[in-house]
């Protein structure tokens, strides 16, 4: 089998596991503490961006201006709420079929990396026992630039020893799709096509992906 794709890079939230609901609950509690408006529609704007950028979205929505030290205090508090919520994460929070798909790629000698901008990514990895599914891990602790900057995917490819043009990215956020494209990689959107307009291909069920077609062509279906 001719192989175009030699490595697959996966975001964590909304791609391998549904940790986004824990993020939502963390931000919701902070917003309630402060008397700010926050709902799931606004929460959708936070997907794929950093903690501080997420706070800024909420502040802008509520017309609030704060000094940087206060913002840091607030993001630290939200992170504490999130870490406490993560104590309840379990196999029910895995994206259906995700680990089976990753395993199928590895059986075909495709290298895999988990590429998450979250600084809590390894907590999720350890809680869900994901260590054996990936050859490399890149998290927010490794980065100084967030998506849509391509740094996260460039570093992932470097750690795997695979050139960008042989990598495919799986992302559920527009900022992640933009980062993957900027890195010169194939990109697959995880979710509804209308929510990921820059993704050339999307899916909602891992079972619908033709694994061999992906490896041979970079496309999820023949």
Q: Rounded to the nearest 5°, which phi and psi values hold at 171?
A: -140, 145
Please state whether beta strands 136-138 and 167-171 pair in parallel, antiparallel, or not at all (unpaired). unpaired
Is 144 an annotated catalytic residue?
no
Nearest to 218 by CA among 169, 155, 159: 169
Structure tokens at 213: 């077609």
Is 208 an annotated catalytic residue?
no
Catalytic residue among 13, 20, 93, 172: 13
Nearest to 13 by CA among 168, 151, 117: 117
Q: Is there a contact between 170 and 8 (Cβ–Cβ < 8 Å)?
A: yes
Q: Is there a contact between 176 and 17 (Cβ–Cβ < 8 Å)?
A: no
Produce one character per residue of 35-50: b if its CB has 16 or more CB atoms within 10 Å, e if not: ebebeeebbeebbbbb
Instruction: Find the helix packing angle between 51-62 and 20-34, rounded to 10°.
Output: 40
Other CB atoms closer than 10 Å to residue 148's CB: what's the count?
19
Catalytic residue among 11, 20, 93, 172: 11
Instruction: Enumerate the active-site residues.
Output: 11, 13
């Amino acid at each position: 089998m001719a192989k175009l794709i030699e490595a697959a890079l996966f975001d964590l939230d909304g791609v391998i596991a549904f940790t986004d609901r824990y993020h939502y609950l963390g931000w919701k509690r902070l917003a309630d503490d402060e008397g700010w408006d926050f709902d799931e529609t606004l929460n959708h704007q936070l997907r794929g961006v950093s903690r501080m950028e997420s706070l800024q979205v909420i502040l802008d929505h509520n017309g609030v201006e704060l000094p940087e030290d206060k913002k840091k205090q607030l993001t630290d508090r939200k992170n504490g709420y999130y870490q406490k919520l993560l104590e309840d994460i379990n196999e029910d929070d895995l994206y259906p079929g995700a680990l089976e798909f990753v395993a199928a790629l590895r059986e075909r000698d495709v290298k895999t990396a988990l590429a998450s901008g979250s600084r809590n990514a390894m907590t999720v990895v350890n809680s869900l026992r994901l260590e054996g599914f990936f050859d490399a891990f890149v998290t927010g602790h490794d980065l100084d630039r967030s998506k849509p900057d391509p740094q996260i995917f460039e570093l992932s490819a470097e750690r795997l020893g695979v050139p960008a043009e042989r990598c495919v990215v799986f992302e559920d956020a527009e900022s992640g799709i933009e980062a993957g494209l900027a890195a010169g990689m194939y990109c697959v959107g995880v979710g509804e096509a209308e929510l990921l307009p820059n993704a050339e291909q999307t899916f909602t069920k891992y079972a619908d992906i033709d694994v061999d077609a992906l490896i041979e062509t970079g496309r999820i279906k023949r």
